[in-house]
């Protein structure tokens, strides 16, 4: 393990004003996104969509530090034969790879999930390193019970998922790949922001205990958490300021200062909500780590709608991606203002 290399990569992933593009949707998940624009889910369409994003400037060289890829994508070539990883590197960004194989039903539990993918992971990581990956992602899924049911998440669900995250992280570091550890407390549900705080705290405290027990070196990791936020079906929605306050309080209580950076997931927030929350977190708090974005939907939704699968719309889609990437870059610096949303060139 080369700790200097790991730490250098982790710091580059959260460089000032930069964050990650999560483009690691499984074939099934991207199929759902394509269905929303009535586009067939073929390997060529997946390539065209992602190639267009990876060729977008200045987004890729100025605002995106790295891209999380899916197994198909890290092996895929652009239309002109250039590997997609080379397009990312040419822009000065770092290729990364999702290595979990998805969340499955947790045995003996009704409605909880366990993330799989540890079998054969050491060999897969060596393969991915050879293909250019310098960081990886593993996402644990933590559901919150409905109607005030506090039995979910169970201790069993938290322990098994955080144990698996630490096993993954240790294997990544052995392979000189920075592990993004992602314990996602899911936003779906009728829970309050206070309940989200409790569950996020439970997950993060357990995660850092497991990382310690398994010898994972925090200086060579990145945390990808959810924000502390009201459930999507809770009518009493917390304000931007409350989300920022409670998220910062929760992270300050759980995440050691040795962690090189935090990059949030968007988790189903609207594009502008995800940006406004990130900005509020970076504006007015004295944080021990850089705090940035690792957004999937909140970066891709606008360009996907602008593209609609039509080659004639590439310029519009790239303008939409440039805009969202720039807004999130400003938010990572605490310099965003909602009035800037009107700047979109050509809109
Ligand atoms: P979202 O930002 O759409 O939640 O995706 C980020 C991600 O990579 C989830 O694992």
Per-residue pLDDT of 110-129, as tens digits, reads: 999 999 999 999 999 999 99
Closest CA to 179 of 215, 117, 123, 135: 135
pLDDT of residue 347: 43
Is 66:325 a contact under the CB 8 Å cutoff? no
297 lines ligand 1 (CB under 6 A): yes
Distance 218 CA to ligand 1 centre (A): 22
Distance 301 CA to ligand 1 centre (A): 12
pLDDT of residue 343: 77
Closest CA to 123 of 64, 76, 174, 88: 174
Closest CA to 200 of 103, 265, 296, 287: 265
Token pair listed for 93: 């960004």
- CA quadruple 308, 312, 316, 319: dihedral sign: positive
Per-residue pLDDT of 195-244, as tens digits, reads: 999 999 999 999 999 999 999 999 999 999 999 999 999 999 999 999 99
Q: Which of 182, 184, 210, 316 is catalytic?
A: 182
In angstroms, rounded to a whole number, what is the distance separating the alpha carbons of residues 70 and 93? 16
Closest CA to 170 of 129, 193, 136, 146: 136
In angstroms, rounded to a whole number, what is the distance separating the alpha carbons of residues 63 and 321? 11
Phi, psi of 155, rounded to the nearest 5 degrees:
-60, -40
- The predicted model scores a pTM of 0.98
Please identify every stretch of the chain with a pLDDT value under 50, giving residue numbers as ranges.
Answer: 346-347
pLDDT of residue 344: 67
Closest CA to 293 of 319, 330, 323, 318: 330
Q: Whose CA is nearest to atom 1 of ligand 1?
A: 296
Q: Which of 18, 98, 137, 224 is catalytic?
A: 224
Contacts 24+ apart (CB under 8 A), 115-123: 115/139, 115/140, 115/141, 115/161, 115/164, 115/165, 117/168, 118/164, 118/167, 118/168, 118/171, 121/168, 121/171, 122/171, 122/174, 122/175
Distance 295 CA to ligand 1 centre (A): 5
Distance 266 CA to ligand 1 centre (A): 6
Closest CA to 322 of 13, 58, 66, 94: 58
In angstroms, rounded to a whole number, what is the distance separating the alpha carbons of residues 67 and 84? 11
Best residue among 265, 292, 302 to mutate for probing ligand 1, ranked by most atoms within 8 Å of CB: 265
182 is catalytic: yes
31 to each of 141, 230, 321, how far by Cα in Å?
Answer: 21, 28, 20
224 is catalytic: yes
């Amino acid at each position: 393990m080369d700790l200097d290399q790991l730490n250098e990569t982790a710091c580059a992933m959260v460089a000032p004003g930069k964050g990650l593009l999560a483009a690691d949707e499984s074939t099934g998940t991207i199929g759902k996104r394509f269905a929303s624009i009535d586009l067939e889910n073929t390997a060529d369409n997946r390539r065209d969509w992602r190639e267009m994003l990876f060729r977008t400037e200045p987004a890729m060289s100025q605002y995106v530090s790295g891209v999380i890829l899916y197994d198909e994508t890290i092996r895929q070539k652009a239309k002109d034969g250039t590997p997609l990883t080379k397009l990312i590197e040419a822009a000065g960004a770092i290729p990364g790879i999702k290595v979990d194989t998805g969340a499955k039903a947790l045995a003996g539990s009704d409605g909880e999930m366990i993330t799989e993918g540890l079998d054969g992971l050491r060999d897969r990581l060596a393969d991915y390193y050879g293909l250019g990956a310098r960081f990886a992602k593993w996402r644990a899924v933590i559901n919150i019970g409905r109607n005030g049911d506090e039995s979910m998440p169970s201790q069993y669900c938290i322990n098994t998922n955080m144990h698996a995250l630490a096993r993954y992280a240790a294997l990544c570091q052995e392979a000189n790949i920075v592990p993004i550890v992602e314990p996602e407390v899911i936003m779906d549900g009728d829970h309050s922001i206070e309940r989200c705080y409790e569950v996020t705290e439970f997950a993060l405290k357990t995660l850092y205990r497991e990382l310690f027990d398994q010898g994972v070196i925090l200086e060579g990791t990145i945390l990808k958490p959810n924000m502390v936020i009201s459930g999507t079906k809770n009518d009493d929605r917390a304000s931007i300021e409350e989300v920022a306050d409670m998220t910062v309080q929760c992270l300050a209580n759980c995440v050691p200062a040795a962690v090189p950076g935090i990059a949030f997931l968007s988790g189903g927030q609207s594009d502008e909500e995800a940006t406004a929350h990130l900005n509020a977190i970076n504006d007015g708090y004295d944080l021990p780590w850089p705090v940035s974005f690792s957004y999937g939907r909140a970066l891709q939704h606008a360009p996907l709608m602008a593209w609609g699968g039509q080659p004639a719309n590439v310029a519009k889609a790239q303008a939409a991606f440039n805009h969202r990437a720039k807004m999130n870059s400003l938010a990572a610096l605490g310099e965003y203002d909602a009035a800037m949303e009107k700047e979109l060139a050509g809109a």
